Chains A and B, each alone.
Chain A
Amino acid sequence: MQVLYFAWLRERIGLPREQVLTTAPTVMALIEELKAREDRYALAFSDLKSLRVALDQKLSSFDAPLAGVREVAFFPPMTGG
């Protein structure tokens, strides 16, 4: 699946998007996989209260299942307007 990062999360991880091969059943399981990769991921995902997730471009939650999802995006709380 495509995993996208925005704002300071993109800067901390160092890339805007990547293709990730995973069998993680939930968003939380995907986050644990990413955190186990490298320190920069562990650091970026250290405080989940400061992060939001969208599945196929719809806001979702960390316990949501990933079955059938093609695009996962992680980002800080939005600051539009």
Chain B
Amino acid sequence: MRLSVQEAAFDAGAELNAFSASVAGAGAVVSFTGLVRDSDGSLKAMEIEHYPGMTEAAIADIAAQAQTRWSLTDVLVIHRYGRLEPGAQIMMVATASRHRIAAFESAEFLMDYLKSRAPFWKKEIGHDGATWVAAKDEDEAALGRW
């Protein structure tokens, strides 16, 4: 299991290939990559703040929960912090299992929990100033389905 909280950019394709090559016995790999979205062309950058120490512990806890709920061959989580340009890769998760259902479901579980239970905060830097991204009620509600 590789869990990384990092400022540096990563190569999602290379990470996925390395992950897939390392999961002997798995029959399915699912991955998700999150990008810095610029809906209307007004975003200059996104700044991601986090809580060093708690972030790593929270991600480890979420990944451990996924491994308890599903039979997984392996889990990968990479999440960046710091200043990111529009279109940049913010984070990725990958899950591997014998069958696809467990890989799909556990990847969604990881995403739902990383969104609302890992201590990251996003700030959008626009041309007219900066605003903190507000958590959505539906993100909290999404946890209820697990």
Contacts and interface: CB of A to CB of B under 8 A. Distances in A.
B133 interface: yes
B119 A77 contact: no
Contacts of A57: 51, 53-54, 57
B132 A78 contact: no
Contacts, number: 69
Contacts of A1: none
Nearest to B140: A77
A80 B79 contact: yes
- Please classify how large the interface on chain A is, using the bins under 10, 10 to 19, 20 to 34, 35 or more: 10 to 19
A41 interface: no
Describe B's contact surface by its main secondary structure.
mixed
B24 interface: no
Interface string A4-45: 101110100000000000000000000000000000000000
A10 B51 CA distance: 12
B45 interface: no
B98 interface: no
B62 to A, nearest CB: 10
B121 A76 contact: yes
Interface in B45-75: 49, 51, 53-54, 57
B123 A7 contact: yes
Contact of B132 (A58, A59, A73, A76): A76
Interface of B: 34, 49, 51, 53-54, 57, 79, 90-91, 111, 114-123, 132-135, 140
10 contacts: A6-B49, A7-B132, A54-B51, A57-B53, A59-B117, A73-B119, A77-B134, A78-B119, A80-B79, A81-B118
Interface of A: 4, 6-8, 10, 54, 57-59, 73, 75-81
